Amino acid sequence: MIQLPNSSIGSTLGPGSLSIASPPLSAPPMAILSCAGLHTKGSNLLPAAGAGQCKYTGQPVRALPIRILTVGKKRSRGVQLVVDEYVGKLKNYCIVDDVQIRSNPRNARDARAQVDDEDAAVMNLIRSGDWVVMLDENGQDIGSEQMAELVGDAGNTGASRLSFCIGGPYGHGRQLRKRANLSIRLSTLVLNHQIAVLVLMEQLYRSWTILKGQKYHH
């Protein structure tokens, strides 16, 4: 897990002072492709929730590195323990990077300024070659089989990394909304960032067991 303190957002990632250069903000060419039967930019496909077995089950899948960007307050110890457990499990399948971005990094006095500051911090960590999935309460509904197909499809887009973004208390900013290739929601319930990251981690692990045809998801 990497946590970004107020003073280091967009510049360093914890111990070792690993520099983060600001990438181009434009979406990669693969933004026009469809993914897991969901709406992506330039696609008119409808969601196919409950469509049955994942098309990639038991087939070779290109394992993109996964980065999870979460905006919010410091996680509770219990939540972090579970997140770390799933990061360890996922590393049997792909590289996983768990990045926390402190909410309201510049101590803005109004919500709009706070969202803009958080938006800038997130965008500083997104590369031009990332396939970006935004978790949003108004996003498309997605089931476990679809999530597995999303992971499989992302490997065919030409992207170099699959990035999932969990927003802060006031949601995502304009730059990320413009940049995201796909917007999904994990539940019709509104989830705070600590619960959302747990659900996402578990579903990503479940996705890989589906892709590999393993028994965990039954």
5: pLDDT strictly greater than 70: no
Residue 58 is predicted with a pLDDT of: 87
Cα 122 to chain center, whole Å? 11
Contact 20, 125 (CB under 8 A): yes
* Contact residues for 24 (Cβ-Cβ < 8 A; gap 6+): 128
Answer whether residue 90 shows pLDDT above 80.
yes
Please check whether residue 99 lies inside any domain of the structure. yes
Name 76's Cβ contacts closer than 8 Å, sequence gap at least 6.
194
The span from the CA of 85 to the CA of 162, in Å, is 20
CB burial class (10 A; 0-12, 13-18, 19+) of residue 105? buried
Would residue 16 count as lying in a domain? no
Q: What is the pLDDT of residue 121?
A: 97
For residue 128, is it within any domain?
A: yes
DSSP annotation of 135 reads E
Interacting residues of 109 by C-beta distance below 8 A, sequence separation 6+: none
Query: Residue 12 pLDDT more than 60?
Result: no
**What domain count does the chain have?**
1
Report how far apart, in Å, the C-alpha atoms of 49 and of each of 131, 138, 140, 145, 184 are.
21, 16, 10, 8, 12
Residues 10/156, Cβ–Cβ less than 8 Å: no
- Given this model, what pLDDT does residue 41 score? 64
Task: Please report the sign of the dihedral spanned by the C-alpha atoms of residue 131, residue 26, residue 31, residue 28.
Answer: negative
Average of per-residue pLDDT across 73-87: 96
Residue with more model confidence, 203 or 33: 203
Structural domain contains residue 126: yes
Residue 62 lies in a domain: yes
Q: What is the pLDDT of residues 120-166, one digit of tens each?
A: 999 999 999 999 999 999 999 999 999 999 999 999 999 999 999 99
* pTM, entire model: 0.79
* 96 within some domain: yes
Domain enclosing residue 94, as ranges: 2-7+56-217
Q: Report whether pLDDT(19) > 60.
A: no
Q: What CATH number does residue 98 fall under?
A: 3.40.1280.10
Specify if 127 maps to a domain: yes
Q: Where are the alpha helices (DSSP H) in the chain?
A: 77-90, 111-123, 144-154, 174-179, 193-211
Contact indicator for 130, 28 with CB cutoff of 8 Å: yes
Interval 91-98 mean pLDDT: 96
What pLDDT does residue 190 have? 87
Percentage of residues of the chain with pLDDT beyond 70: 75
**193 inside domain:** yes
Mean local confidence (pLDDT), 50-60: 80
Percent of the chain at pLDDT > 90 equals: 70
For range 76-87, the mean pLDDT: 97
